[in-house]
Chains A and B, each alone.
Chain A
Amino acid sequence: MSPTDGAAQAAPHGAASQGRPVLSVRNLAKAFGSNVVLRDIDLDVRRGNVVALIGPSGSGKTTVLRSLNGLETPDAGTVTVAGPGTSAGPELALDFSAKVSKKEISDLRDRSAMVFQHYNLFPHMTVLQNVIEGPVQVQKRKRAEAVADAEKLLARVGLADKRDAYPFELSGGQQQRVGIVRALALKPQLLLFDEPTSALDPELVGDVLGVIQELADEGWTMVIVTHELAFARQVADEVIFMDGGLVVERGPAAEVLRAPRQERTRQFVRRLLHEF
């Protein structure tokens, strides 16, 4: 379950934040015609750190996240992802100002894994098949090995008995936990979460957030787009507030969420915490 494959990284966040950046984003920009969705976004995520992207809808936070997985192609800017492991592996650097090749996008996807708001499980596959599809079909790992790993991961999130169920037989919370396991099974450098609890019934949110909290405690490097500010405060090392395609404010979670410096952030946080 650990991101570095055996070498457990249960370092507290304070120590982990000393690590080198797994992800560096510089000057990311994107526009649809005259509609600018991202301007000059910078982002650094150190190994074992959790960064929460918050902001109103349309602020560009999901576009940033999707760019990190090659689901959106920015017009300009660079994305650099460290190589696997703690050793200084080969870095992957994409410069979107130039033409980015399919191979580069595919390499970018190899290093990150996405958890979607609407889970996007494969409905025609069982839970187990969903989880081993990437490892077996894409990473060409041995099936038996992938199954063993998948079973371990499913047990970790309390879904061992659901391995042969189809997604429609699961609750939203269970489906999202499978979505998380499917991402973990790829052994990525970086986990990306796109509003992982927004589609869930309120009473199911806790299960999923619990799993994400555990992953954070284990030292996974994560970028999370979320509206759950209380959760962000608890789990994130850094919170970035975006609005209108810009980073309005960034800093340690407690500072940005408890004592925002910008008026715009203050309004947003107040509204979401229902403190009128």
Chain B
Amino acid sequence: MPLNWDLIWSSFGPIVTGAVTGTIPLTLASFAIGLALALLVALMRLSRNAVVSGVARFYVSVIRGTPLLVQLFVIFYGLPSLGVKLDPWPSAIIAFSLNIGGYAAEVIRAAILSVPKGQWEAGHTIGMSRGQSLRRIILPQAARVSVPPLSNTFISLVKDTSLASLILVTELFRNAQQIAAFSQEFMVLYLEAALVYWIICLALSSGQSVLERRLDRYVAH
């Protein structure tokens, strides 16, 4: 098969543009919102109030028990029948944020539980409230523990955003698909898309290492 170098070079432009204007902002926005949601859900799950922790448990169960693609379709194609019409971008951000919220909540909950009980007690004994102990003592330590699993979640999200192409969000994979359909060069275009995803994930992995080293400075090696 002769390689169409012109196509390869000219298609990189739209694919990278799709990454910069679609995939990356979609990932960042969804991860940020999802993480905030996850912290809230994790704290709810740790609540002594059975109703509060029950609601959180139910939410996590639904998110983890249903496919992300189905969640996307329910929000984008399903909600209009209830009179809620959302554009592709808001639909995608809502779906991905809710998804991250469910998965990361379990990571954060486990990380909070991994901090020894004595740390809470030491916080209380210097006069801190539960909230203060959580913020100043527990979460900084939980953060260190949760960086590796949360990095996994983050990297998965980068790749999962390709599903947004199915609800018409202009991002990396949708651009690749369109050029592939037009040029009929499927292998080339999809490999290009794969390569760009891989490069983004490589960058994230090295970012993870830097962050882990930073957070490890107070741990014996």
| CB-based contact A116/B118 at 8 Å | yes
B80 within 8 A of A: no
Docked pose: A122 CA to B219 CA in angstroms? 11
Q: How far is the CA of A166 from the CA of B215 in the complex (A)?
A: 13
The answer for the CA separation of A139 and B132 in the assembled complex, in Å, is 13
Q: Check B122 against A120 for contact (C-beta < 8 Å).
A: yes
Task: Summarize B's interface: helix, strand, loop or mixed.
Answer: helix
Residue B21 at the chain A interface, CB threshold 8 Å:
no
Determine which of A118, A138, A168 lies in contact with B126 in the assembled complex, contact meaning CB atoms within 8 Å.
A138
Inter-subunit contact B124/A71 (CB<8 Å): yes
User: Known: A122-B119, A166-B217. Is A114-B125 also a contact (CB below 8 A)?
Assistant: yes
Q: Is B67 at the interface (CB under 8 A from chain A)?
A: no
Q: Which residues of B contact A102 (CB under 8 A)?
A: 129
Which B residues between 192 and 220 are near A, CB-CB below 8 angstroms?
217-220
Q: How far is the CA of A102 from the CA of B121 in the complex (A)?
A: 15
Whether A45 sits at the interface, judged by CB under 8 Å, is no
B132 near A138: Cβ-Cβ < 8 Å: yes
Interface size class of B (residues with CB under 8 A): 20 to 34
Q: Say yes or no: A138 contacts B219, CB within 8 Å.
A: no
Please, how many angstroms separate the alpha-carbon atoms of A102 and B141 in the complex?
A: 25
How many of A's residues come within 8 Å of B, CB to CB?
29
Chain A residues with CB under 8 A of B129 = 102, 106
Q: Which of A69, A123, A138 has the most CB of B within 10 A?
A: A123
Q: Check A84 for interface membership: any CB of B closer than 8 A.
A: no
Find out whether the CB atom of B126 lies under 8 angstroms from the CB atom of A182.
yes
Contact B141 A124 (CB under 8 A): yes
Given contacts A123-B218, A124-B218, A168-B220, contact A134 B118 (CB under 8 A): no
Q: Is B83 an interface residue (CB 8 A)?
A: no
Taking a contact as CB atoms closer than 8 A, the residue among A70, A124, A133, A138 that contacts B144 in the complex is: A124
Query: Is B121 in contact with A120, judged by CB distance below 8 angstroms?
Result: yes
CB < 8 Å: which of A71, A125, A166, A168 contacts B125?
A71
B residues lining the A interface (CB < 8 Å): 116, 118-119, 121-122, 124-129, 132, 136-137, 140-141, 144, 217-220
Known interface pairs A114-B121, A116-B118; 11 further A-B residue pairs with C-beta atoms within 8 A, sorted by A's residue number = A69-B125, A102-B129, A109-B126, A113-B126, A114-B125, A116-B125, A120-B118, A120-B119, A124-B141, A166-B217, A182-B126
Which residues of A does B touch, CB under 8 Å?
69-71, 102, 106, 109-110, 113-114, 116, 118, 120-125, 133-134, 137-139, 166-169, 182-183, 186
